[in-house]
Chains A and B, each alone.
Chain A
């Protein structure tokens, strides 16, 4: 007997995928930023506040903290119960979603996710020094990867698996665009006499996407903006590139029933990516292009939501 996938279950596993991916991205961003700041001269303005811009909630931050210094930003991004995008909230939401779909995952998966949440909660219960923050972020990344690997290796790769993957890759695609967007704006502010640091910045973008080593292997050229952008948008072998994420979403959608609308939406994103040579984009054009990509990705989420999670279904008549 094939088990049917409830709309609600599909929605929850999709969000589990999103929240786990978001937690990992947040953890990596925090660590990469610490690392970057150690290399930058003090007069560089971006510092920690750009992390808040990547996560997209500066106004909210300002209502809670007086200054975007390291302590406050790290706290806001990791431990803050009032920040709906904080690491702890992401993990707590991942756990709540996982708790309600225990019946469709290997049972021990919930134990791992529960453990991860308890680990993070325990870690942030005391103020975090820089070295403890680094260790905790490492701990979170390692555990998320363990969970993702475990799920991949043990879950039946059927409908629910497809929703987990779609959530994961939509979140990842979104995060990749955010990181590029904010860092390239930072780059604009970095003109007069600070050009040498541009290369450092792009290096940190690659690091934020765990793609530095891959860049060296695949591109085999010194780090420079046009090549980095091409790599991050169009490389179809890099797991965090837009091309890769969108192609995974497409193949997951292809295995699902009633997929016409979301499939059409993801195809629009893929065509958009193919239609533009990102290497040639000037700063303002790049920003507009990224905006457009984010909008099209949002349409994919919307169509998935309408088709599978909140469909208005007609009741059959006998």
Chain B
């Protein structure tokens, strides 16, 4: 017997599958028993089958190897033991996510129009005006349904006491949903028998929901609006996902050079039939590269005139430019107030307790306790530019203190959470590894939340960095209807 749950130790941590006494959490009995019955050889065979499926399905992601040396394609790291969440536990989380994204969209729309929330002093005006993601070009623009962030990926974590927190909102161009879908496909190939034992909620309607959301944004009220996915191209780390989604939605995958803006301020794509008008662009390139006439002049990825076409209301951009103003890590600390302000409701999902370095008291506290905190810059993603206090060197901490003092607005800090774990296969044994969860929320004419999301796992023992660019892996995530 290779996996012995009695030997499995996740002391002092919340484990997603196994309780403190080495027993299965509610609903997980069958899965745990089945895994324990597998011999070394069988476990290995399943693991190999998963790796082979990932290789032949070409599920890859791109890693930047540093300046000059370019990037390489790696096969997607996948752990064959699924993560399980009972549906009864998931449903309120899904409601909390809808509430949160709804409020954030109201916030962005307000910030680019009347700015009530700034006038009422709920969020300091200075924070917005000094934010490098606040785009003056977006002031006064009214996207359909008042929605700016049509596709949001919210990172959830669970602390040692079992509480689920929102760690961050990714409102700009979040990625990972294709891996969520592919993980399920791999899992079906590797453990088909488990899908008979469990009522695992399906996730594969995501592409349909996405295309429905995108079509609801079309400026032309026609039966089949022209929707395209705009990618920076094959060398982007998420290109796999761009191609995947375009195919799943049966729409064109375009690069900037495939599009052109006419004198009529409409967007067209170059096809073998000639030029065809485009209604909705699901853009997977950053704001600053969208339009060399407005943002970075050296951008070869964008489409000259695109922002003009968008401002004229002739094309919808999803996500809308400028929505990054709300996923700044300092704005994050205001989200509970934002929810109360726009919706008059209490937040369903809590934020991780956070300290804004711009407030003197908080700043002093952070600096005094920096060895216990996680310090985050306002506008980085992918885990870059962070200080993880308990794992840092003295020199790193000193450097961060200097950076905080030089630009306090740019930093916030949180106590180090002990992220929950789940059993992960390591040399034919199950060992606890830390993980998070990224569900995706779609907003257009209606709101939709994925059933579960992408579970990312820190494959290194003890590590809490789950980003695939830094050695993270992933698991299939099951929302299970347990009687």
Contacts and interface: CB of A to CB of B under 8 A. Distances in A.
B270 A6 contact: yes
B269 interface: yes
Contacts of B262: 315-318
Contact of A115 (B56, B224, B264): B56
B247 interface: yes
A99 B272 contact: no
A313 B243 CA distance: 26
B482 interface: no
A6 B250 contact: no
B51 to A, nearest CB: 13
A103 B254 CA distance: 11
Contacts of A118: 55
Contacts of B263: 315, 317-318
B281 interface: no
Contacts of B72: none
Nearest to B231: A100
Interface string A154-189: 000001000000000000000000000000000000
A315 B262 CA distance: 5
A115 B58 CA distance: 9
A300 interface: no
B184 to A, nearest CB: 15
Interface string B248-289: 001111110110111110101111111110000000000000
Interface string A286-318: 000000000000000000000010010111111
B248 to A, nearest CB: 8
Contacts of A258: 272-274
A110 B240 CA distance: 12
A156 B188 CA distance: 27
Q: Taking each of B55, B263, B266, B273, which has the highest tally of chain A beta carbons within 10 Å of its own beta carbon?
A: B273
Sort chain B's interface into a size bin. 20 to 34
B177 to A, nearest CB: 16
A111 B255 CA distance: 23
B56 A3 contact: no
A10 B269 CA distance: 13
Contact of B260 (A9, A256, A315): A315
A260 interface: no
Contacts of A9: 252
Interface in A2-44: 3-10
A106 to B, nearest CB: 10
B366 interface: no
A6 B275 contact: no
Nearest to A3: B250
Nearest to B246: A103
B34 interface: no
A257 interface: yes
B58 A8 contact: no
B343 interface: no
B234 A257 contact: no
B58 A4 contact: no
A96 interface: yes
A311 B268 contact: no
B57 interface: yes
B247 A6 contact: no
A5 B247 contact: no
B258 A6 contact: yes
Interface string B302-332: 0000000000000000000000000000000
Contacts of A6: 252, 254, 258, 269-272
B450 to A, nearest CB: 21
A82 interface: no
Given A100-B243, A257-B272, A308-B272, A3 B251 contact: yes
Given A1-B224, A3-B252, A103 B264 contact: no
A118 B54 CA distance: 14
Contacts, number: 93
Contacts of B252: 3-4, 6, 9, 103
Contacts of B255: 8
Contacts of B273: 4-5, 257-258
Given A1-B224, A96-B234, A114-B56, A315 B274 contact: no
Contact of A103 (B243, B258, B260, B275): B243
A113 to B, nearest CB: 9
Given A103-B246, A104-B247, A315-B262, A5 B58 contact: no
Contacts of A102: 58, 243-244, 247
B243 A7 contact: no
A114 B264 CA distance: 43
Contact of A111 (B58, B234, B246, B254): B58
A318 to B, nearest CB: 4
A315 to B, nearest CB: 4
A318 B224 contact: no
Contacts of A313: 260, 270, 274-275
B169 to A, nearest CB: 29
Contacts of A318: 262-264, 266
A316 B268 CA distance: 9
Contact of B264 (A4, A256, A308, A317): A317
Contacts of A308: 272
Contacts of B234: 96, 99-100
A60 interface: no
Contacts of B272: 4-7, 10, 159, 256-258, 308
Contact of A315 (B247, B257, B258, B268): B268
30 contacts: A3-B251, A3-B252, A4-B269, A4-B271, A4-B272, A6-B269, A6-B270, A6-B271, A8-B254, A8-B255, A8-B257, A9-B252, A10-B272, A96-B234, A103-B252, A104-B247, A107-B247, A114-B58, A115-B56, A118-B55, A257-B272, A258-B274, A308-B272, A311-B270, A311-B274, A314-B275, A315-B263, A315-B275, A316-B262, A318-B263
Given A4-B276, A5-B271, A6-B272, 20 more contacts: A4-B273, A5-B272, A8-B254, A8-B258, A100-B243, A102-B58, A104-B247, A107-B247, A257-B272, A258-B272, A258-B274, A311-B270, A313-B270, A313-B274, A313-B275, A315-B262, A315-B268, A315-B275, A316-B262, A318-B263
Which 3 pairs show the lowest CB-CB distances between chains A and B?
A103-B247, A318-B264, A315-B262
